[in-house]
Amino acid sequence: MDLHTLSLARAARMLDEKKISSTELTRAYLDRIKTHDSTLNSFITADADAALAQAAAADDQIASNNHTPFTGIPMALKDLLCTQGMRTTCGSKILDNFVPRYDATVVEKLRQSHGVIIGKTNMDEFAMGSSTENSAYFPTRNPWHVDYVPGGSSGGSAAAVAAQFCSAALGSDTGGSIRQPASHCGVVGLKPTYGRVSRYGLVSYASSLDQIGPITRTVEDAALMMNLIAGHDPKDSTSAPEPVPDFTSGLTAFDKNGLKGMTVGIPKEYLDMPGIDPDVRAVFDNVRTLMESLGATIQSVSLPHTDYVVAAYYIIAPCEASSNLARFDGVKYGFRARDTADLLDMYKQTKSTGFGPEVQRRIIIGTYALSAGYYDAYYGKASQVRALIMADFAKAFETCDILLSPVAPTPAFRIKEKIDDPLTMYLTDIFTLSANMAAVPGISVPAGFSAAGLPIGIQMMAGRFDELSLIRAGYGVEKSMNLEPRFPDIPDM
Amino acid sequence: MKISEQEVENIAHLARLKMDDEQRQALCGQLSDILGYMDKLAHVDVNGVAPASGAAFMHNVLREDVPQTSPGPRVTLANAPEKDQDYYLVPRVVK
């Protein structure tokens, strides 16, 4: 049996039944990474020795029947999650040598379950980007077609899951950075409700928007991962003290009732949008029909402020980023420029050399929008528009359980196709930004392919803390669609 | 929305970034485009709308007021680019 083909759920069952060992499973992934990741570049750091040591410890736990569904499961982590003793770069040269002294809460949960950290994945620098081309290290390639981007900013995590380098991965989503790469790589990506998962130990990009979530092969695996990472954390003041359900009950709900009793809203502003690729449109129409056949009621809804989402987001996120990234000054950690004239020159040289062009661009936008005389016109106005966007969503969820939309206007684009045109790149986030602005959960589920054979996902959004509806509907679509092929053959380069 | 090179230079200074002429010129064009796009927000009626800063629950995280042992400089200064015993080293400030 090819162990790398096992989903998280199946691997957990086989580990529990002692049919396979974590060491065998981990070794299978490490071998695959060794063979294929020189083509894809999905990992910044992969520590085989540490992974095998964790696998051996997990096998001991399983042997003594002291294990959880995650014991011995190899996972990849986006390289902005702090890992004690393991380099955490955020895809940036400014943190090239940074080794955290503590674990992020989600990492702590993984370690407590005796999961295996197989490596840290590539990303757009500080999570700023939609293609993983803004990594200071290398671009990651799409496993389905290596001339194309995997999406971003969690492109390394999505590519690693699609390439079957790990059982599951964690990413972070500030404006679509889990859902969009999941869609482009043909895997499942879930952005939880803001506050559902602790952000402690996540290197912040935009604190009011960032949320950690799973990237997995199946919706069932996403539900399992949510069971692992969700929950209130006293170390994070923005973490929600909400009760945490068993997320796998969303799967049971579908098995029992299909989508009967669920109302799916179709935002009319989304369908009127120019520039939606015909293949994306066809996939969307197909899923709408499918959900109806599964018992859902379809209705049209309005999100009147859709046209302003990109503008408001690309003010708010850079403003928060300019504040968050001020800490990288060359004094306390990370890179420091040498041979500088004085302290101010050291700050300037450090940031200008350590940060890449997109990060510097967003720092400049944020600093400008927060500067005296412009604050009200930009940040103040964008925050008021955000309130209107939140109200749009709250109103839509009065009558709908789910909102259905494309994930991105097009399938994955070619590497370098948009890299010199930041505004065009920003506009590709139109369908995913709203969930972050409104603090609601969203999921991307594989739903078809383009004519060129690139995966296309479908997005569903739900009301705050209603991830169960996403899991139920997403599982229903996945199960009824039964897409083939599910995973790509990776060519040698 | 047209941003001048001087404005870019001023903002870069506030953000503690250093730019050469080529970067400044490129940013000028890009920022003018991006901020031009943002100007569409001017058309939204926000009269009486309270700004939203997000959806955080925001409760203070406090620990018991009990003295604890500090992890010490070996840990806290472990990632310092330059240090001298228990201190971060920075370029001289007082001449």
Beta bridge partner(s), residue A169: A76, A215
> Which tokens belong to A379?
């940040």
pLDDT at A268: 96
Has residue A487 got a pLDDT over 90?
A: yes
pLDDT of residue A236: 93
Q: Which of A176, A132, A139, A183 is nearest to A161 (CA)?
A: A183
Model pLDDT for residues B38-80, shown as the tens digit of each residue:
999 999 999 999 999 877 776 777 889 999 998 899 999 999 9
Contact B80 A426 (CB under 8 A): no
- With an 8 Å Cβ cutoff, are A195 and B56 in contact? yes
- Of all residues in chain A, the one with the smallest CA distance to B12 is A364
**A480 part of the active site:** no
Q: Are A424 and A459 in contact (CB under 8 A)?
A: no
Of B3, B8, B16, which has the smallest distance from its Cβ to A347's Cβ? Answer: B16
Containing B10, the helix (H) or strand (E) segment is helix B5-14
What pLDDT is attached to residue A443? Answer: 98
Judge: B57–A241 Cβ closer than 8 Å, yes or no.
Answer: yes
Question: Contacts of residue A308 in chain B, CB cutoff 8 Å?
Answer: 40-41, 44
Q: What is the pLDDT of residue B77?
A: 94
Sort out which chain A residues have CB atoms less than 8 A from B14's CB and list them. Answer: 367, 371
Average pLDDT value for chain B: 90
pLDDT, residue B93, reads 87
What residue in A sits closest to B31 (Cα-Cα)? A365
**Nearest-CA distance from B66 to chain A in Å?**
17
- Of the residues A7, A21, A78, A444, which is catalytic? A78
What does the pLDDT average to over A61-72? Answer: 96
pLDDT score at B55: 76
Indicate if the pLDDT at residue A492 is higher than 80. Answer: no
CB-CB contact of B59 with A237 (8 Å): yes
Question: Active-site residue A177, yes or no?
Answer: yes
Architecture of domain A3-252+443-457: Alpha-Beta Complex (3.90)
β-partners of residue A77 are A120, A170
Alpha-carbon distance A193 to nearest alpha carbon in chain B (angstroms): 10
Interface contact flag, A388 B49, Cβ < 8 Å? yes
* Residues of chain B found within 8 Å of residue A365, distances taken between Cβ atoms: 31, 34-35
Residues in A closer than 8 angstroms to B57, CB to CB, are: 195, 237-241
> What pLDDT does A444 receive?
98
A238-269 pLDDT per residue, tens: 999 999 999 999 999 999 999 999 999 999 99
- Alpha-carbon distance B56 to nearest alpha carbon in chain A (angstroms): 5
- pLDDT band for A147, please (50, 70, 90 cuts): very high
- At residue A243, the pLDDT reads 95
pLDDT in tens, A179-201: 999 999 999 999 999 999 999 99
Q: From the candidates A22, A42, A172, A177, which is the catalytic residue?
A: A177
pLDDT band at A425 (very low <50, low <70, confident <90, very high): confident
Chain B residues lying within 8 Å of A315, measured CB to CB: 38, 41
Residue of A242, A367, A376 to mutate, interface with B, max B Cβ within 10 Å: A367
Q: Where are the domains of chain B?
A: 5-42
Residue A168 backbone phi and psi in degrees, to 5 = -165, 170
Say yes or no to pLDDT of A76 above 90: yes
Q: Residues A385, A388, A390, A395: what is their CA dihedral angle, to the nearest 10 degrees?
A: -160
Residue A299: pLDDT over 90: yes
Nearest to B78 among A101, A236, A355 (CB): A101
A491 pLDDT above the threshold of 90: no
Cross-strand pairs, A403? A265, A461
On whether the CB atoms of residues A229 and A170 are closer than 8 A, the answer is yes
CA distances from A277 to A176, A363, A398, A410, A412 (A): 18, 32, 30, 5, 11
pLDDT band at A349 (very low <50, low <70, confident <90, very high): very high
pLDDT at position A38 over 80: yes
Is A153 marked active-site?
yes
SS3 A393: helix
What average pLDDT does the structure give for chain A? 97
